[in-house]
């Protein structure tokens, strides 16, 4: 994260570090006690579940929890050239016992409003500058949602932002996800103070440049895919009430 601040333990309880041969490689988010949502491009070099673990807790040096990986499901139509469908799911070997500091993030409804200009947070152990090193303590950056039309302007991404993508940043640059934040969450809080994952760190032209915001996988575009892969039934809480 470029231009962010250090996170406190328990602030982002769904955030995990996905570790390849025990080195931090990507971020991810717990969406329930068995599944982590992350980016497909995290597995370009290695998709063997035996070589991966996930850890929870703000410190990657002294994690609060280590999780074994049972399976890695990469979107069939992930295209590295265009970054399309940059989404993957990690199934854990054992279900996680949630605590106040380790639990899942909400998935948004397909219809969830994500207004341009609204505040979002991106978190991770990624570099604090382009071509920098990953960091041992989790960091957070506050950004704003940018419309796909604005993000597709000629001086910005010039049409490369497809409907399954979402841009977020700050107008002059300086706050952004960066290398090593990939796969991690872009979240928003609703009026009920519930946190939703609206994006997955996917790509961008370097980090924090003006008019080159972070590009995220748009989670609302992949709810059917997530449902198909996991069998999770996501029923919105406010629709959960019994009708008498």
Catalytic residue numbers? 41, 86, 182
Residue nearer to ligand 4AZ on the CB measure, 67 or 177: 177
- Spatial contact of 175 and 32, defined as CB atoms under 8 Å apart: no
User: Per-residue x/- marks for ligand 4AZ, 195-224, CB under 6 A?
Assistant: ------x-xx--x------x----------
- Spatial contact of 202 and 182, defined as CB atoms under 8 Å apart: yes
Residue nearer to ligand 4AZ on the CB measure, 35 or 203: 203
Residue showing the smallest CB distance to ligand 4AZ in the complex: 204
The closest alpha carbon to 31, from 240, 235, 242, 230, belongs to 230
CB of 44 to ligand 4AZ, least distance (A): 11
- Contact between 175 and ligand 4AZ by CB under 6 A: the answer reads no
Alpha helices in the chain (DSSP H): 148-151, 223-230
**d(C-alpha 136, C-alpha 223), whole Å:** 32
- Contact between 12 and ligand 4AZ by CB under 6 A: the answer reads no
- Contact between 123 and ligand 4AZ by CB under 6 A: the answer reads no
78, two tokens:
């992930």
- Contact between 40 and ligand 4AZ by CB under 6 A: the answer reads no
Residue nearer to ligand 4AZ on the CB measure, 86 or 108: 86
Report phi then psi at 40, rounded to 5: -65, -40
- Contact between 179 and ligand 4AZ by CB under 6 A: the answer reads yes
Number of separate helices (H) and strands (E) present in the chain:
2, 13
Only segment of 64-72, 111-119, 172-180, 236-244 that touches ligand 4AZ (CB under 6 A): 172-180
- Contact between 156 and ligand 4AZ by CB under 6 A: the answer reads no
Question: DSSP label at 20?
Answer: E
Which residue from 7, 18, 175, 181 is in contact with ligand 4AZ, where contact means CB under 6 A?
181
The closest alpha carbon to 127, from 139, 135, 138, belongs to 135
């Amino acid at each position: 994260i470029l231009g962010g601040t250090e996170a406190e333990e328990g602030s982002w309880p769904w955030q995990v570090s996905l570790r390849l041969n025990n080195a931090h490689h990507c971020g991810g988010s717990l969406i329930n006690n068995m599944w982590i949502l992350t980016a497909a491009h995290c597995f370009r070099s290695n998709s063997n579940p035996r070589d991966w673990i996930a850890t929870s807790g703000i410190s990657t040096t002294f994690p609060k929890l280590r999780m074994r990986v049972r399976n890695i499901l990469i979107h069939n139509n992930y295209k590295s050239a265009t970054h399309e469908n940059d989404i993957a799911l990690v199934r854990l070997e054992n279900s996680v016992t949630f605590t106040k500091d380790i639990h899942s993030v909400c998935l948004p409804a397909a219809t969830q409003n994500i207004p341009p200009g609204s505040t979002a947070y991106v978190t991770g152990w990624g570099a604090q500058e382009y071509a920098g090193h990953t960091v041992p303590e989790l960091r957070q950056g506050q950004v704003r949602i940018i419309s796909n039309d604005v993000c597709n302007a000629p001086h910005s991404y010039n049409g490369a932002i497809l409907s399954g993508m979402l841009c977020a940043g700050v107008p002059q640059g300086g706050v952004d996800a960066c290398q090593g934040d990939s796969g991690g969450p872009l979240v928003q809080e609703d009026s009920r103070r519930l946190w939703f994952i609206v994006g997955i760190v996917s790509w961008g032209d370097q980090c924090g440049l003006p008019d080159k915001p972070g590009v995220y996988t748009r989670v609302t575009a992949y709810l059917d895919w997530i449902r198909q892969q996991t069998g999770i039934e996501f029923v919105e809480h406010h629709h959960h009430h019994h009708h008498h």
